[in-house]
Amino acid sequence: MARMLAFLVLLIPGLMAAGGIKLIRDTIFGKLIGPIPFLGLQFILGIVMLVIGLGFFAGFLLHRDRKNGKVQPRFANKKES
């Protein structure tokens, strides 16, 4: 059950990043999508969706690898003394 939950947690940002890539691609080819009024806004929205989706995914992986001790020393949590 925990693996299914983790899959669902990663599926949503993954789809968000894929949607961002699609918006960027459509902007490059000059195709305006739905309720977005102009291409510049569509491009910026695509970039934002891509960055948020990939950032969440990367943060999740970094957190998991830190917990399992599989990161380089420069990425490990610094313990306060």
**Rounded to two decimals, what is the model's pTM?**
0.84
User: 17, exposed or middle or buried, with CB in 10 Å at 0-12, 13-18, 19+?
Assistant: buried
Q: How many CA atoms lie less than 13 Å away from 24 in the CB half-sphere?
A: 13
Express each pLDDT in 28-72 by its tens digit: 999 999 899 999 999 999 999 999 999 999 999 899 899 988 988
